[in-house]
Amino acid sequence: MERKELRKKILALRDTLLPDKRAQKSRSVIEHLWSIDNFSSTNTLFVYVNFKSEVETLHLISQCLDKGMRVTVPFTLPDESRLIPYRITDPYQDLRPGYCSIPEPDPQQLSTVDPGEIDTVILPGSVFDRQGGRLGYGGGYYDRFLNNAPRAVRIAIAFQLQVVSEVPLLAHDQRFDYLVTETGVTNVSDYTHRICA
């Protein structure tokens, strides 16, 4: 199935999750996320702010801040197809509607963080497989961002209904190290090889 069609099909399926069920499954995803040692020891985190039917992350952001992590979230530069990490200390005060109405940090009030300092990136997306393959939303924003955060552990979080046997990847697509769904954690890590290369 062509990438565009596959993305459309899986996102339509994700959109059928009722809010209560989505919240319940999101809580299960986050519980499993904390079982990853690499995540629990994170110093500087880059995490998306959920939008539409994505796995919900606001509670996760609050948990990470409570544990003393330095939390950064993306500010989108659509003309450059880039994400800029801004540090936040309160997800309920520091965010405002931004690109496509996605909650974003206020660049007038907050500070940027060097992507090279980020230990862990939490990845959103549309379609995933258990070999580290991911389809985003078609803009390549996270693929570009990951190139600038080479030492970060890459953790994709998704609902089980977003997982397929194999994602059709292109040369520029970046792979992830862990996949977390409401059913558990899959370690697909080539992380050690990547940072030693």
Identify the pLDDT of residue 29. Answer: 98
Confidence of residue 193 (pLDDT cuts 50, 70, 90): very low
Identify the pLDDT of residue 197. Answer: 41
What is the residue-averaged pLDDT of the chain?
93
Q: Does domain 3-196 have CATH number 3.40.50.10420?
A: yes
Separation between Cα atoms, residue 118 and residue 190, nearest integer Å:
18
Confidence of residue 195 (pLDDT cuts 50, 70, 90): very low
> What are the domain boundaries of the chain?
3-196
Identify the pLDDT of residue 172. Answer: 85
Could you write out the DSSP letters of every residue in the chain?
Answer: --HHHHHHHHHHHHTTS-HHHHHHHHHHHHHHHTT-HHHHT-SEEEEPPP-TTSPP-HHHHHHHHHTT-EEEEEEEETTTTEEEEEEES-TTTSEEE-GGG-EEE-TTTS-B--GGG-SEEEE--SEE-TTS-EE-SSS-HHHHHHHT-TTSEEEEE--GGGB-S-----TTPPP-SEEEETTEEEE---HHHHHH-
| Res. 138: pLDDT tops 90 | no
More confident residue, 162 or 140: 162
Identify the pLDDT of residue 190. Answer: 58
* CA distances in angstroms from 89 to 5, 118, 171, 194, listed in the order given: 38, 16, 36, 31
| Mean pLDDT value of segment 88-106 | 92
| Res. 178: pLDDT tops 60 | yes
Identify the pLDDT of residue 38. Answer: 87
Q: What pTM, to 2 d.p., does this model score?
A: 0.93
Identify the pLDDT of residue 171. Answer: 84
- At residue 38, what is the residue type? N
